[in-house]
Structure 1
Amino acid sequence: MLDTVLPDPITNDRPTQGAARLRDQHGRVKRKLRLSLTDRCNFRCSYCMPEHPVWLPKASLLTRAELLRMARLAVDQGITHIRLTGGEPLLRAGVRDIVSDLQTLRSSGLQRLSMTSNAERLGELAQPLADAGLDDLNISFDAIDPDVFETLTGRPIAPVLRGINAARAAGLPVKLNAVLIRDRNDHQILPLTRWALEQDLSLRFIEYMPLDQPGRWRPETVMSEAEVLAVLRTQHTVEALPRSAEPATRYRIDGQDRVGVIATVSNPFCGSCDRIRFTATGELFTCLFAQTGTPMGAQMRAGADDDALTETLHRAVWHKQAGYAAQPGPVERTILMHGMGG
């Protein structure tokens, strides 16, 4: 359950310096920012990409300086973790320099800088990213079978495996994310789990969410958390671990704490959500399922100073809705997942 609605922190009892400042009307404090670097992607995963994507003009994307400014504003208001997303963030020119830029926020309160990637370009970029200060990686990895992988993504698996190995060689902790779609890759649950355990890698199964192009998602295509666990129990011992504020429920598999399930559809975690996200154009979405965003990037380019942008940030976060738990089902909007940032 969500907490009791609190007074508006902008107009009444504004938090003092040093306090947790980004709080919504349901009492949830925001500590994590998803920062998209581009809407472009070299994969064609159906749960994320439309059949015929139309990319944003490059001039509309936030520059390096603008990305740093937006991130700094968020960190100044209590954000401690930033995750770089896309599209595919490794397609962004100067991605290593962006990671390096964000290191300047460590002294202001940034504790962790992460990235979500499809790993295809990690073979060449893993070490430079680690040298620039990246802390860890989430890698989208929906199948271990090469044919299934290519059917799902439109790309071969070999460069991704090389990227995973390069990341590990560079000392970057790696977590695998697998979106499950019934009758497409649900038969990969056991092979993926076995491979992750053998490789000593963490694996998160993610329920298929209604965030792709309109009309594609259907409830019957969702592999629920309960169904995933039932499959795992056919060959493994499964023990639930205590819940945290993280979106995944973690499970000990054969004595190893390596597997989790993000059950947005069957068991939403909205009550503990501590995330906000900026698109590559600087539009603020306070919820993955929000119908509209707040155009902070446009406001910034129109000349708004930091105080005005911070005020906008507070108000948008304050009015964040209860989330998918309160309004389940597909969301109608023009922006799709590749433009939103995962």
Structure 2
Amino acid sequence: MNMMTELKTEAKFVDQFGRGKRKLRISVTDRCNFKCVYCMPEHPEWMKKHDLLSFEQLYHFCDFMVRRGIESIRITGGEPLMRQGVVHFVAQLQQLKKLGLKRISMTTNAHYLKQYAQALKEAGLDDLNISLDSLDAHQFKQLTKKDLSPVLEGIQTAQAVGLPIKINSVLMKGMNEDQILPLARWSVEEKIVLRFIEFMPLDGDRKWSSEYVVSEQQILDSLRTEFAVTQQRSDSTGSTSEPARQYFIDGHPIGIISTITNSFCGTCDRVRLTAQGEFYNCLFAPQALNLKTEIKALNSSEPLSELSLHAALSQYIWNKEYGFHAIEQRLKHQSMNKSSRKISMHILGG
């Protein structure tokens, strides 16, 4: 056992609004075989493979973060199953459960899931979030440039091996809002938890407009034409930090993530790391903290490397803004500034 794993749990990361950070999203690659309009630029410039943090470096960072309060790690992309070695990384992260890690999850488009579901289950993955924006094969092809059938096969395989799954569906007006009822019916039939997501300004080509947003209220109105819709009671302590507002449709659980019309930012406990070491205290943060040098230094036994990283993260996380609406005007200004960073879902991983 190395020096770092012997250290006791350190002070947890908290922002200026008192929100402790318990969930870490790690993007292991920006590459994806899909080209979803709400995520991927038309002409993506992929990160060079030699610029990516190694899985060993990512593991040391996860170890560092778990000892400071992180309880849940979600592996994202791009498409995480496109990076060789990701299953072994899931297995390696199991070692951190003795330090306080409670959950290891993954977000995937499910295209490769038929191939990897059994291995992920054996590696100890706790659950999967799967992107599925349409059940219409033609529409799905228009949205992703890929076929629907491998995704459905991947979902079936994941269910067969016993991996808990949630389906995430991003709705865009004029593109796939007609899928609300088909997806809802399918989720009830398949006994799968479905979450509808409002279209957010994270598309690679920055063409987002509020005109494309299918709001939570519009989703509920559509669901009520066919289902009895009731809202789940929230945690009596009011401490829940889940992004989705929870409902039942004919007794079946369903969620709606309404960042634009009903933001959940007030209880956000998430932080994010990209594949090349950029750390974001918010999904919409205009600027990242580049930690590549500090993360690489964690491989050494030099205590100063942890002190340096802790100091940098503490200050950056403390200055996290309240949420999307607090930085909305800045984002609008940024969208007009062509030299500014493109805030794109394919890099941050959601």
Q: TM-score, normalised by structure 2?
A: 0.90
| CA deviation profile, 1:271-303 (whole Å, cap 9, x unmatched) | 000000000112110000000110112333367
2:98 is matched by which residue type in structure 1? S
- The match for 2:166 among 139, 155, 175 is 175
Match of 1:149 in 2: 140
Q: Tell me, in whole angstroms, the C-alpha distance in 2 between the residues paired with 1:300 and 1:292.
A: 18
Distance 1:242 1:76 in 2: 32
Q: Is the 8 A contact 2:10 2:67 kept in 1?
A: no
| Matched AA of 2:283 | L
The answer as to whether partners of 1:249 and 1:262 remain within 8 angstroms in 2 is yes
Aligned equivalents of 1:20, 1:223: Cα separation in 2: 41
Give 5+ residue unaligned stretches, structure 1: 1-16
Letter paired with 2:245: T
String of CA shifts for 1:49-93, please: whole Å, max 9, x gaps.
Answer: 000111000011110110101111111100000000000000011
Cα-to-partner distance string for 1:202-235 (whole Å, 9 max, x where unaligned) = 0000000011135411111000000000000011
Aligned amino acid, residue 338 of structure 1: H
Equivalent residue runs for 1:50-61 within 5 Å: 50-61=41-52
Shift of 1:334: 2.9
2:100 corresponds to which residue? Answer: 109
Which of 245, 249, 253 is the matching residue for 1:253?
Answer: 249
Which residue does the alignment assign to 1:286? 281
2: CA distance, partners of 1:149 / 1:229:
23
- Match status 1:76 vs 2:67: yes
CA distance in 2, matches of 1:215, 1:261: 23
User: Which residue, out of 284, 287, 295, partners 1:300?
Assistant: 295
Aligned to 2:346: 338
What is the TM-score normalised by the length of structure 1? 0.92
Provide Cα deviations, 1:148-207, integer angstroms capped at 9, x if missing partner.
Answer: 111111100000011101111111001000000001000000000000110000000000
Match in the other structure for 1:324: 324
Tell me the equivalent position of 1:312. Answer: 312
Q: Secondary structure at the match of 2:283?
A: coil
Residue pairs, 1:1-342, within 5 angstroms: 21-243=12-234, 244-257=240-253, 259-301=254-296, 305-328=305-328, 330=331, 332=334, 333-342=341-350
SS at match of 1:179: strand
Whole-angstrom CA distance in 2 between matches of 1:200 and 1:297: 42
CA distance, structure 2, for counterparts of residue 188 and residue 174 of structure 1: 19
The one-letter code matched in structure 2 to 1:28 is R
AA matched with 2:284: F
SS of residue paired to 1:305: helix
CA distance, structure 2, for counterparts of residue 48 and residue 90 of structure 1 = 17
Contact 1:265 1:328 in 2 (8 A): no
Q: Distance in 2 between matches of 1:158 and 1:221?
A: 27
Counting aligned pairs with the same residue, the percent is 48
Amino acid at match of 2:166: K
Distance in 2 of aligned mates of 1:212 and 1:266? 18
**Structure 2 stretches of 5 or more lacking a match?**
1-7, 235-239, 299-303, 335-340
Q: Deviations over 1:259-280 (max 9, x none)?
A: 1100000011110000000001
C-alpha distance in structure 1 between counterparts of 2:80 and 2:98, whole Å: 24
Root mean square deviation of aligned Cα: 1.5
User: Letter of the aligned partner of 1:337 in structure 2?
Assistant: M
Deviation at 1:314, TM superposition (A): 1.5
Tell me how many residue pairs correspond in the alignment.
325
Structure 2 residue identity aligned to 1:239: T
Alpha-carbon distance change, 310 to 240 in structure 1, aligned in 2, over 3 angstroms: same
Cα distance in 1 between the residues matched to 2:46 and 2:37: 16
Q: 1:104-158 deviations in whole A, cap 9, x for unaligned?
A: 1111110000000000001010000110110000000001111111111110000
Counterpart amino acid of residue 139 in structure 2: V
